[in-house]
Structure 1
């Protein structure tokens, strides 16, 4: 039995990485254009980019026929004495997400390399002693978010973070509690870091609870890895590209995910920071058509 995935988009596909940045698409334009492109579901994006007053945000979404699928927030629980600062950021996003009627919170690990400059600011790998500590903190966070806000954490492996390659993704899954922590499978980040999306779906089907759909340009990614370029600079070089121009191929991934027979969101999230104002809408429109031709979506 198969169940089509529920397609949506995100501020990221409009060049949005930060709560406030003059180079980003203004939030009103994003909401207008994501609806114009034909999407009916969106993510929250960086907390503070969209209005944080629940009634205002509900009104803005409702007038455009949009549904909120999940909040998105970074965490830094691998660092010493990080609980209080992480909890403040994550709980603020969770509170607004729950108020929008969503059930998921996409949680992203912070970077070991500065996304703006590419400077290495931490060790790129966790030690064998740090992994179980990090996992226990993530379990604690997931339980607190579930108990206080009724949300399920969907953990998002990310380039230039400690949970990046397939080896590290699988170690994270092995160390964390499946009853608390699910995986946001980001097809672009898995491919960027040399992983195999179909293999992860096949061998960890019970852990995948949410999806980000994106492709990477293999030629750009090869250069990035060869020259030691940071993720922020890679995005500016076009590492994340419009389907069907990159990898991984979307059709087999969508078919494999549909076979999981879950009520699952698949959110288009093409990193384009920074981008010119008129670039996102036509890409988003074409991507919607392309993805519907690739596999079972609704």
Structure 2
């Protein structure tokens, strides 16, 4: 993508959901990857249903697609650094085998994102000692990622202990910039704090991966009023692709270009594929990107 070296991907979560395997269960890997080609994206992230590297690599090569990365649920606070490191090393080996660029990490100790709890009011918090354990653990995982030629990118996420702008600030301040990078997610930032530019502006030099997730304002407000869980909220349509919600991705993209961001921008929107046709929404995102982003110059 020109001088910025930006690669555009789209996540498999629009076709199948790891947390609710029954939705989209009929969408095969071949179907998903072929839809991605039709929609004009260059790659995707690994879903929980993806096969062993040899099989996946063949399907990718047939379609000239690439893998950006894969989610890793860390439990550094709950299980300790040694246990997390063992599991993460196997995760990184898989990513190396499929020629990925980043390892996406999210600390899931106390997470409510998969529970029937109000995601807007019942998020967990870490105490000072737990924060210190998390810092040390992530630095160690970052070292492991580096051995496999990968970059660890931390995913701030609704319903977890690293969700808010203040928590992202603390994580960035407490970890080694050479080892721990940030996955910047527009949707999670906006729904958590009502603002999606602050994290980007403050931590631009730490961003190693980007998710473009849009939000439907009216549905978000309704879900907040009704105290919905994370899964209930996305099943009701709180998330969507760029161009179908209320986030202005033009200012986000300008900021990325201005600072010479190089890496993946992955469209990601948790939706029920029986309600939101995955290819249809991938094409909506592609149309928005082509019309409103790719010809936008960086601001001075």
Q: What is residue 142 of structure 2 aligned with on the other side? A: 142
Q: What is residue 9 of structure 1 aligned with on the other side? A: 10
Q: In structure 2, what is the Cα distance between the partners aligned to 1:220 and 1:84?
A: 41
Residues 106-115 or 285-294, more deviating = 106-115
Instruction: Please state how far the C-alpha of 1:5 moved relative to its aligned partner.
Output: 2.6
Retained in 2: the 8 A contact 1:143–1:180?
yes
Q: What is residue 293 of structure 1 aligned with on the other side? A: 291
1:234-268 Cα distance to aligned partner (Å, 9 max, x none): 10111102332323211111111111213221000
- Aligned 1:98-113 pairs, distance under 5 A: 98-110=96-108, 112-113=111-112
Q: In structure 2, what is the Cα distance between the partners aligned to 1:156 and 1:75?
A: 11
Residues 151-160 or 190-199, more deviating = 190-199
Q: Please, what is the CA RMSD of the aligned residues? A: 2.4
- Aligned 1:181-260 pairs, distance under 5 A: 181-260=180-259
Q: What is residue 55 of structure 1 aligned with on the other side? A: 54
Give the match's secondary structure for 1:197: coil
1:195-218 Cα distance to aligned partner (Å, 9 max, x none): 532222222121111100011112
Instruction: Please state how far the C-alpha of 1:135 moved relative to its aligned partner.
Output: 1.1
Q: 1:88 to 1:129 in 2, by over 3 A?
A: closer
Retained in 1: the 8 A contact 2:89–2:144?
no
Instruction: Please state how far the C-alpha of 1:21 moved relative to its aligned partner.
Output: 4.2
Give the match's secondary structure for 1:129: helix
Retained in 1: the 8 A contact 2:183–2:208?
yes
Q: In structure 2, what is the Cα distance between the partners aligned to 1:268 and 1:65?
A: 18
Q: In structure 1, what is the Cα distance between the partners aligned to 2:194 and 2:85?
A: 30
Retained in 2: the 8 A contact 1:74–1:90?
no
Retained in 2: the 8 A contact 1:165–1:195?
no
Retained in 2: the 8 A contact 1:118–1:232?
no
Give the match's secondary structure for 2:177: coil
Instruction: Please state how far the C-alpha of 1:43 moved relative to its aligned partner.
Output: 1.1
Instruction: Please state how far the C-alpha of 1:26 moved relative to its aligned partner.
Output: 2.4
Retained in 2: the 8 A contact 1:214–1:268?
yes
Q: State the TM-score, normalizing by the size of structure 1.
A: 0.89
Give the match's secondary structure for 1:6: strand
Q: In structure 1, what is the Cα distance between the partners aligned to 2:75 and 2:38?
A: 36
Q: 1:22 to 1:252 in 2, by over 3 A?
A: closer
- Aligned 1:28-43 pairs, distance under 5 A: 28-43=30-45
Give the match's secondary structure for 2:128: coil
Q: 1:135 to 1:153 in 2, by over 3 A?
A: same
Q: In structure 2, what is the Cα distance between the partners aligned to 1:36 and 1:95?
A: 30
1:151-179 Cα distance to aligned partner (Å, 9 max, x none): 11011100001111111111111111111
Gaps of 5+ in 1: none
Residues 226-235 or 248-257, more deviating = 226-235
Aligned residues: 290
Instruction: Please state how far the C-alpha of 1:116 moved relative to its aligned partner.
Output: 5.0
Residues 12-21 or 37-46, more deviating = 12-21
Instruction: Please state how far the C-alpha of 1:4 moved relative to its aligned partner.
Output: 5.8
Give the match's secondary structure for 1:155: strand
Q: What is residue 64 of structure 1 aligned with on the other side? A: 63
Q: In structure 1, what is the Cα distance between the partners aligned to 2:285 and 2:235?
A: 19
Q: In structure 2, what is the Cα distance between the partners aligned to 1:57 and 1:127?
A: 41
